[in-house]
């Protein structure tokens, strides 16, 4: 029987992020219009101004353990467990919908929280059996393998449709109490994870749901798979 225990860690800085340089502050944009002396469309109203910056950060830490045992007659069993945590500002950045700017471009650190792909616990068990066929090359060397895995769910954020930061759908509401999460079907057939949300959103405030992805989906179970 063999036992392996290990640690994996990484730290990344200067990651690309898009920031809204014209984000409203107390309802007023810092650059409401083009200058009257501008050679291009003088006096034109300005909306969001996105710029690419290198202010993102991320870190990943994981502990894992694997136990493997060889039995007689060609049977081998292995099981592994991984605990990991991934945190960043901007794994959601550069999203397909819009620029994926943070909730508050004036302070991107407020978006520091679990990564989109963060999985805290993962357990895998597998087995390999060498089939006892002998005689010729057509039947020798075959193996039967099975694998099953289970893991905790990914975290997710709650956003409102208000545009307090100049972009609708990026503002996180305040939590007024516990938010029970479960996977159920709404009346229209859509999957919903928050049947009852206790939250509201004040106007012109950016100190809201302080970090993103504070809620977590239910765990995922992978079916048993066999391969010959």
- The structure tokens listed for 190 are 């859509």
CA distance 25 to 171: 14
* Bigger pLDDT: 163 vs 75: 75
Model confidence at 175, pLDDT cuts 50, 70, 90, reads low
pLDDT of residue 221: 47
CA distance 227 to 215: 36
Whole-structure pTM over 0.85, yes or no? Answer: no
Query: Any idea which of 62-66, 106-110, 131-135, 211-215 has the lowest mean pLDDT?
Result: 211-215
* Bigger pLDDT: 156 vs 125: 125
* Bigger pLDDT: 103 vs 2: 2
Whether the predicted pLDDT of 148 surpasses 60? yes
b/e per residue 199-222 (b: at least 16 CB within 10 A): bebeeeebebbebbbbbbeeeeee
pLDDT of residue 40: 87
Query: Any idea which of 150-154, 197-201, 206-210 has the lowest mean pLDDT?
Result: 206-210
Q: How far apart are the first and last CA of the chain?
A: 24
Q: Between β-strands 184-185 and 191-192, what pairing exists: parallel, antiparallel or unpaired? A: antiparallel
Model confidence at 178, pLDDT cuts 50, 70, 90, reads low
Query: Any idea which of 22-36, 118-132, 133-147, 187-201 has the lowest mean pLDDT?
Result: 187-201
Cα distances (angstroms) measured from residue 97 to each of 93, 112, 162, 167: 10, 20, 16, 11
Strand partners for 174 = 200
CA distance 110 to 101: 12
**What value does the mean pLDDT take over residues 83-106?**
75
Whether the predicted pLDDT of 94 surpasses 60? no
* Bigger pLDDT: 154 vs 220: 154
Q: Is residue 185 classed as helix, strand or coil in its secondary structure?
A: strand
Report phi then psi at 39, rounded to 5: -75, -15
pLDDT of residue 89: 87
* Bigger pLDDT: 142 vs 196: 142
DSSP 49-110: -EEEEEEEEEEEEEEEEEEEEE-GGGEEEEEEEEEEEEEES-TTTT-SSTT---S-TT-GGG
Whether the predicted pLDDT of 139 surpasses 60? yes
């Amino acid at each position: 029987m063999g036992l392996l225990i290990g640690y994996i860690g990484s730290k990344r800085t200067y990651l690309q992020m898009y920031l809204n340089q014209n984000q409203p502050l107390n309802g007023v944009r810092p650059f409401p219009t083009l200058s009257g002396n501008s050679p291009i469309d003088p006096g034109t109203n300005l909306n969001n101004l996105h710029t690419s910056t290198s202010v993102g950060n991320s870190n990943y830490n994981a502990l894992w353990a694997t136990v493997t045992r060889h039995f007689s007659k060609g049977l081998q069993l292995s099981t592994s467990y991984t605990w990991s945590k991934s945190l960043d500002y901007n794994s959601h950045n550069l999203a397909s919908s819009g620029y994926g700017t943070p909730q508050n471009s004036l302070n991107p650190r407020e978006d520091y929280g679990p990564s989109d792909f963060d999985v805290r616990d993962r357990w895998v068990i597998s087995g390999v059996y060498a089939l006892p066929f002998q005689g010729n090359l057509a039947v020798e060397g075959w193996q039967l393998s099975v694998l099953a895995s289970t893991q905790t769910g990914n975290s997710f954020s709650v956003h409102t449709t208000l545009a307090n930061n100049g972009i609708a759908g990026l503002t996180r509401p305040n939590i007024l109490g516990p938010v029970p999460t479960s996977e159920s079907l709404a009346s229209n057939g859509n999957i919903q994870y928050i049947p009852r949300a206790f939250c509201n959103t004040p106007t012109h405030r950016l100190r809201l749901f302080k970090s993103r992805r504070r809620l977590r989906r239910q765990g995922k179970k992978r079916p048993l798979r066999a391969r010959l």
